[in-house]
């Protein structure tokens, strides 16, 4: 049984325990409820992106909720304009690529079959491998899985369209109130440390999100320019796909390049286009690793690249791709907490 010296100390401890219970409960709900994790992540990203702009508009005399609605209206208008202007570009490319996917898959099987027939006499293991048969089975299973998953995907997409803006709105609107509520839960002697912890976490997370989005944008732009110069089909869609996949650490490098290389291989006029396409993706990754990450990402979050690699390995071991995405942000939060606590210990000493 806990023994308290006075009523104030008891209230302080109970408030702190209540705060920890709320944090643990929210974390459990995010990981347990299907789809909640990605909704929460996208909402947090949106809140960090728009938070400085909302604060600026509020300082100009506009009500916070009204400022958020203005930003939402502007974003919705931009999305509509992009959709209308890009229908003959991005969306048309996506539709054409989707329609031609069976043809591409069929050509892949034909190419592999030719390789098997040519080298099966010299390499006996190719007969046992039966790559074409395996790919046909996997292809039919994948197609069946996609058909079954379409209703669920549509419902999930609708939920994203509704819930993510909803969560983001209240994160932006009540951010200051939540911060005040958290600080009120802390004992007075830890109030200054709590303020520093929240400031450091916000600074680290905002820098990380902005840097990752900038990194993806630069890579996508380089890929788009390169594929456009080479005349590779679906260059706009392939560049956007590479940019999005690049948000997945390390694995995204391969996942983002495979469709572009496949399209160049099966639709290119010569094998030279294929190698030039590989070169485009390689140059984009080199620019990302040698310039963008050291100058932008590392500077914003101040973490050594080796530490980032270790974090990604640990995250992948525990939670797969999701763990790789969350590993660095969680480390940023932990780093902000340790920095603030260490500063307080140094002052007390």
Calculate mean pLDDT across residues 137-147: 57
Residue 283 reports pLDDT greater than 50: yes
pLDDT band at 1 (very low <50, low <70, confident <90, very high): very low
Average pLDDT of the chain is: 75
Is the model's pLDDT at 124 over the cut of 60?
A: no
Are residues 89 and 96 in contact, defined by beta-carbon separation less than 8 angstroms? Answer: no
Domain boundary assignment for the chain = 33-173, 186-349
pLDDT at 311: 79
Distances, alpha carbon 140 to alpha carbons 96, 100, 316, in Å? 21, 16, 29
- For residue 249, give the nearest of 303, 316, 296 by alpha carbon: 316
Q: Which residue has the higher pLDDT, 25 or 135?
A: 25
Strand extents, DSSP E, the chain:
none
Contact call for residues 51 and 59 (beta carbons, < 8 A):
no
Number of helices (H), then strands (E), belonging to the chain: the values are: 13, 0
Of the candidates 166, 243, 208, the residue with the CA atom closest to the CA atom of residue 325: 208
Does the pLDDT value for residue 152 go beyond 80?
A: no
> How far apart, in Å, are the Cα atoms of 62 and each of 68, 167, 176, 252, 277?
10, 21, 16, 41, 50
- Convert the pLDDT of each residue in 186-240 to its tens digit: 767 777 777 887 887 888 788 888 888 888 888 889 998 998 888 888 888 888 8
d(CA 242, CA 51): 27
How far apart are the C-alpha atoms of 90 and 94, rounded to whole Å?
6
Q: Scanning the structure block, which residue is given the tokens 């996997």?
A: 138
Compute the residue count for the chain. Answer: 349
Give 82-97 pLDDT, tens digit per residue. Answer: 666 655 566 666 667 6
More confident: 78 or 186: 78
Q: How confident is the model at residue 34 (pLDDT cuts 50, 70, 90)?
A: low
Best-predicted range by mean pLDDT (127-141, 147-161, 282-296): 282-296
Q: What is the pTM of this model?
A: 0.68
């Amino acid at each position: 049984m806990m023994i308290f010296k006075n009523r104030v100390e008891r209230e302080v401890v109970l408030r702190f325990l209540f705060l920890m219970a709320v944090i643990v409960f929210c974390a459990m709900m995010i990981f347990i409820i299907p789809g909640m994790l990605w909704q929460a992540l996208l909402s947090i990203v949106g809140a960090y992106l728009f938070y400085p702009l909302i604060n600026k508009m509020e300082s100009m005399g506009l009500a916070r909720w009204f400022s958020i609605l203005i930003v939402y209206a502007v974003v919705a208008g931009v999305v509509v304009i992009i959709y209308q202007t890009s229908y003959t570009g991005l969306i048309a490319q996506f539709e054409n690529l989707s329609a031609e996917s069976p043809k591409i898959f069929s050509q892949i099987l034909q190419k592999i079959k030719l390789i098997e027939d040519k080298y099966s006499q010299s390499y006996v293991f190719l007969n046992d491998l039966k790559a074409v048969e395996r790919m046909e089975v996997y292809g039919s299973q994948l197609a069946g899985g996609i058909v079954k998953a379409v209703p669920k995907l549509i419902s999930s997409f609708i939920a994203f369209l509704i819930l993510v803006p909803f969560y983001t709105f209240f994160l932006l609107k009540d951010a200051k109130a939540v911060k005040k509520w958290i600080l009120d839960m802390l004992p007075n002697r830890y109030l200054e440390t709590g303020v520093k912890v929240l400031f450091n976490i916000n600074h680290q997370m905002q820098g990380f999100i902005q840097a990752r989005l900038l990194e993806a944008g630069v890579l996508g732009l380089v890929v788009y320019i390169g594929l456009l110069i080479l005349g590779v089909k679906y260059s706009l869609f392939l560049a956007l796909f590479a940019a999005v996949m690049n948000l997945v650490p390390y694995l995204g490098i391969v996942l983002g390049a495979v469709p572009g290389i496949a399209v160049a291989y099966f639709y290119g006029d010569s094998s030279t286009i294929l190698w030039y396409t590989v070169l485009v993706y390689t140059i984009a990754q080199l620019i990302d690793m040698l310039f963008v990450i050291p100058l932008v990402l590392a500077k914003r979050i101040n973490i050594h690249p080796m530490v980032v690699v270790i974090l990604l390995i640990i995250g992948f071991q525990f939670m797969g791709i999701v763990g790789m995405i969350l590993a660095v942000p969680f480390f940023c939060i932990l780093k902000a907490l340790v920095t603030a606590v260490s500063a307080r210990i140094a002052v007390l000493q």
